[in-house]
Structure 1
Amino acid sequence: MAADIIAQLNETVAYLKSQYAETPAVGVVLGSGLGNFSTQIQVEKEVPYGDIPHFPVSTVQGHKGRLIFGKLSGKTVVAMAGRFHFYEGYTAQEVVFPIRVMKLLGIETLLLSNAAGGVNTSYNVGDIMIIRDHISQFTPNPLVGKNIEAWGPRFPDMTEPYKKSLIARAKAIAKANNIDVKEGVYLAVTGPTFETKAEYRMIQVLGGDVVGMSTVQETIVANHMGLAVFAVSIVTDIGIREDDNVITHEEVLEAAHAAEPKLSVIFKELIASL
């Protein structure tokens, strides 16, 4: 199995290097409703996921499904416009396959974004939350199975999954641009159902500020491979309310679109500072 994954990754990386010769320094993953950030990139090459050997294909509305290479804030970047989720039927290993690809292409820093449900009662729709830490007991760990020592240790340390220096820099950028940001804990679930009221209360008790269906598996593998990670959630709905609000995917996308310009400022200036 390990030999198969290595062979697949080598084939994928070789294909992408044939499409784009430069070495990206930064990888960006754009979550639900956040694909328009890709318009900020000076695009030099776009590769549809369907053309990339062994790459999964995004099946969710709000995920465009292409790998974008180009320049942003003076840096060479590779961006995923659309990510993969466990709830789409992919294995944990398939979900994180693109993160391994980006590392092997040469990135050193990974920026992640997602749309998430608010659990902290002080949060409002449209808030930007910098992820300080996460809880991952509810999603399969992508490192289960034979460890490949060349990629990272059998038992990777997770005391600082999100780089404190990047968090501090992003908070300073937000302050300088009068952007209000929160900082908190992201709890990952498999989805695709939104949470019940009892589940929201449980997440709150466990210490989660927001809940979502992505990001954590990607962060685990990025840390395993030695990447510096920075991640942000856009609060797209408030699930902890006691009224009978119904959450729809359309609402989530709409809220993410509205908050995207502020996220773009933070990402662009953070990349410029690297």
Structure 2
Amino acid sequence: MDAYSKLQAAAAFLQPLISQPIRTAVVLGSGLGNFTKEIVIEKEIPYEDIPHFPVSTVEGHHGKLIIGTIADKPIIAMAGRFHFYEGYRAEEVVFPIRVLKLLGVTTLLISNAAGGVKPGLKVGDLMIINDHISLAIVNPLLGKNDDRLGPRFPDMSEPYKKELIVKAKAIAAEQGIELKEGVYFGVTGPTFETRAEYKMIHVLGGDAVGMSTVQEVITAVHMGMDVFAMSVITDIGIREEDNIITHEEVLEAATAAEPKFSTIFRELIRSVN
């Protein structure tokens, strides 16, 4: 079975489970799975039940697709995502994004936990991603292009929809939530960065660094979706004191910042559907 047929099979399995057209999907990052409490859940589908879907193996990622509503708006949420460092090929990492598009999704909201690189960022900050640097990741569009999915050379001048960024800033202002904004530097992981790597990322223009999101965004843009993405800063890379970072600390920081994150995403979903 070729790649497109696998996508069609997954979409065909899910389509009968969807009771109304869904235009917005959410991808939940490490430690942000509790956002699902905002959803009036209609159906939960474990990833292993969906034909050809990968299965999430990382702590903090639940591994299920949730269909339901937020603020009476229909959505699909990915509670758990896939990472290149888990051993998946790039095309497997982005398989769910392509399935979402085949199901009719036109707007993708992405979250992640990220390390702060830009001076002034602190643990718990929310950073809107206004651009990314993909030099250190494997591009998911490598290989023969399937024109049914998108063009051979997709334009990446606005990977993160400016209109959605403006809306998110307005929501934050209304709610009294401080937002930062910056460039996300994508890496493969699974190691956290060395001091020298953090300095390099800063010099190259990265404000935050993480092990997800970029491949998903490239794929979404390739397929014509509008994207909004936001990082929860869960650790600080360039600092003079002890630089040891653990995954447990990342999850703890993400969970603490979740109420603010949930407010932004909930109200953004209300505004875009």
Fold in common (TM above 0.5): yes
TM bracket (short chain): over 0.9
CA distance in 1 between partners of 2:86 and 2:226 (Å): 27
Q: Could you tell which deviates more after superposition, 106-115 or 9-18? A: 9-18
Distance 1:150 1:54 in 2: 19
Q: How many residues align?
A: 272
State the match for 1:154 in structure 2: 152
Once the two structures are superposed, the pairs formed by residues 90-239 of structure 1 within 5 Å of their partners are 90-239=88-237
**Shift in Å, 1:191:** 0.1
Deviation of 1:151 (Å): 1.6
2-side partners of 1:204 and 1:273: how far apart? 34
Matches within 5 A, 1:55-70: 55-70=53-68
Q: Percent identity?
A: 66
Give ranges in structure 1 of 5+ residues lacking alignment.
none
2:239 corresponds to 1:241: yes
Cα distance in 1, alignment partners of residues 107 and 8 from structure 2: 21
The one-letter code sitting in structure 1 at the alignment partner of 2:49 is: D
Per mean C-alpha deviation after superposition, the further-off stretch among 60-69 and 236-245 is: 236-245
Q: TM-score, normalising length from structure 2? A: 0.98
**What SS does the aligned partner of 1:176 have?**
helix
1:125-155: per-residue Cα shift (whole Å, max 9, x none)? Answer: 0000000000000000000011111221100
Distance in 1 between residues matched to 2:139 and 2:37, nearest whole Å: 33
Report the equivalent of 1:24: 22
2:2 aligns to what SS in structure 1?
helix
Do the aligned residues in 2 keep the contact of 1:25 with 1:75 (CA within 8 Å)?
no
Q: Which residue of 1 aligns with 2:43?
A: 45
* Cα deviation digits, residues 176-225 of structure 1 (max 9, x gap): 10000000000000000000000000000001000000000000000000
Q: How far 1:21 sits from its partner (Å)?
A: 3.6
Report if aligned partners of 1:130, 1:233 keep a CA contact under 8 Å in 2.
yes
Q: Hey, what does 1:33 align to over in structure 2?
A: 31
More displaced stretch, 98-107 vs 239-248: 239-248
Aligned-pair RMSD on alpha carbons? 0.8
Question: Runs ≥4 in structure 1, deviation > 6 angstroms?
Answer: none
